[in-house]
Amino acid sequence: MKHLSHFIDGHTAISLSQRFGDIFDPNTGAVQARVVLGTPDDLQVAVASAVTAQKAWAATNPQRRARVIFEFKRLLEVHMDELAHMLSQEHGKVISDSKGDIQRGLEVVEFACGIPHLLKGEHTQGAGPGIDVFSMRQALGVVAGITPFNFPAMIPMWMFAPALACGNAFILKPSERDPSVPLRLAELLIEAGLPAGVLNVVQGDKEMVDAILDHPDIKAVSFVGSSDIAQYVYGRGAANGKRVQCMGGAKNHGIVLPDADLDQTVADIMGAAYGSAGERCMALPVVVPVGDKTADALREKLVAAAQGLRVGVSTDAEAHYGPVVSAAHKARIESYIQMGVDEGADLVLDGRGFSLQGHENGFFLAPTLFDRVTAGMKSYQDEIFGPVLQMVRAQSFEAALSLPSRHPYGNGVAIFTRNGDAARSFADQVEVGMVGINVPIPVPVAYHSFGGWKRSGFGDLNQYGMDGVRFYTRVKTVTQRWPQGGAVSDQSFIIPTMA
């Protein structure tokens, strides 16, 4: 059986830890590999390597760093099929979805190739008598990323691409459920020319997370995962004087106005709600039709479309989605389905009990659809993170607007309408960080930034885009004056001014 370990100083590193985690094949339910669960001593080795390598990397001019990132981009394209199959084997998402995972990360890599321009500071000549002022962005040093199981390629690249381009060394702690792709990305970075030690991968669970949060040489931590853990990471990291950004959970809503194109809306909702088995923080698990006439028509179309979805193994090219990541997660989703029933919601389609011939032990769930869900239900308040779609009926635009605005999460939201005025008003008023107008999964392009509000995001700066550059750098501002003609200025005991 394959055993996975750390990647430190440019090669696989052996851990003395005696703890291991199982890596399952979600299609069969069988254990396919084991991963070491590292110790603080393992982290110390990785950080020491990163500290040593970072100074020379930061001193490398931005254009040369960009060349390494650009070569990494080329290698990602060359190895796309290999990475996608590796990702699907451990996560369970279908191959096309795995390629999308890699592609969205690659787009941030492309953005990071422009780092020479992105790092330019500001300059003012003649701010005072013979005085010039300029600013520069400098790398923080050693930074870290803690990433979730659902996007084992995209989210690590969202973090380390801008961090490395800015001149930092990076410690990556991927999910112990699917660590193979992050390890392969590290190998490809070395092949692209990244010096050994500039990116290290450490494996582990909470013990490793706490070690990262407590290590004095790690200056910043980026995290993506559930909201409770995001809040914990943010609090502990900030208490230790680190810069921290934490992206949490979500309960994204899709508002459907009476004038929406229902056929297109249903097609969009199918992919947004059930794609990747709903294991996306930007999935759309709640649909809010306005008016009972709209709701009844939408329900009929949703049922027909959901019943036509194909659930299959991750290598099935005809499958719309594959299994969820683990037996424990499948059981959790099933418990929420039962919770919805117990709370009085109308279970229209029940995805429990689905079995795929030849893969009876796989972690599969068919599409589930609830109607007449209410805002007071716990199954509505919580993030389910599976192929479960809940319909909450609203009787007015204002009522529909209030649902995502009042929800504890505020990651993404979408509105489906032909009315530009309604869409503009909705985008302006809704209390959510990312808004789609006839776009069901409004993940911003790489040169903007990704981030939610409320319990979906902790910290002041978002992922990637210019916020990523800002997060992984600090500004130094220089005020300079050169003596002219040997003249000596009078000593002043007041605070300097430019008057």
**Residues 283 and 231 reside in one and the same domain:** no
Residues 419 and 325 in one domain: yes
Task: Identify whether residues 237 and 329 lie together within a single domain.
Answer: no
Q: Are residues 365 and 471 in the same domain?
A: no
390 and 431 together in one domain: yes
Dihedral pair phi/psi, residue 390, rounded to 5°: -115, 130
CA distance linking residue 365 with residue 344, whole number of Å: 21
Q: Helix %, strand %, coil % for the chain, to 5?
A: 40, 20, 40
Segment 212-271, tens digit of pLDDT: 999 999 999 999 999 999 999 999 999 999 999 999 999 999 999 999 999 999 999 999
The pLDDT value given to residue 499: 63
Q: Is 102 a domain residue?
A: yes
In a domain, 488, yes or no: no
Name the token pair of 301: 């179309």
Phi/psi for 150 (5° steps) reads: -80, -20
Nearest residue to 254 (alpha-carbon basis) of 286, 280, 282: 286
Reported as a pLDDT band with limits 50, 70 and 90, residue 482 is confident
Residues 190 and 277 placed together within one structural domain of the fold: no
- pLDDT recorded at residue 488: 66
pLDDT surpasses 80 at 485: no
* In 229-299, beta strands by DSSP E: 243-247, 253-256, 286-289
User: Do 155 and 201 fall into the same domain?
Assistant: yes
User: 447 vs 97, 162, 181, CA distance in Å?
Assistant: 22, 11, 24
User: Count of domains in the chain?
Assistant: 2
- Residue 149 maps to a domain: yes
* Strand 142-146, strand 169-173: pairing: parallel
Distance of CA 39 to the CA centre of its chain: 25
**CB neighbours of 410 closer than 8 A, spacing ≥ 6?**
404, 431, 432, 433, 452, 453, 454, 455, 456, 457
CB-side neighbour CA atoms (13 Å) of 331: 4
H-helix segments, 179-223 = 180-192, 206-214
Q: Which structural domain range is residue 354 located in? A: 253-437
Q: Reply yes or no on whether the pLDDT at 487 is more than 80.
A: no
Instruction: Give the catalytic positions in this structure.
Output: 281
**How far is residue 274's CA from residue 286's CA, in Å, rounded to a whole number?**
11
CA distance 257 to 259: 6
Are 170 and 30 in the same domain? Answer: yes
Asked whether the predicted pLDDT for residue 417 surpasses 70, the reply is yes
Residue 52: other Cβ atoms inside 10 A: 15
pLDDT at residue 496 greater than cutoff 90: no
pLDDT, mean over the chain: 96
- Do 385 and 464 lie in one domain? The reply is no
Say whether both 410 and 464 belong to one domain. Answer: no
- 354-401 tens-digit pLDDT: 999 999 999 999 999 999 999 999 999 999 999 999 999 999 999 999
CATH number of 59's domain = 3.40.605.10
CATH number of the domain encompassing residue 415: 3.40.309.10
pLDDT digits 0-9 by tens, 24-37: 999 999 999 999 99
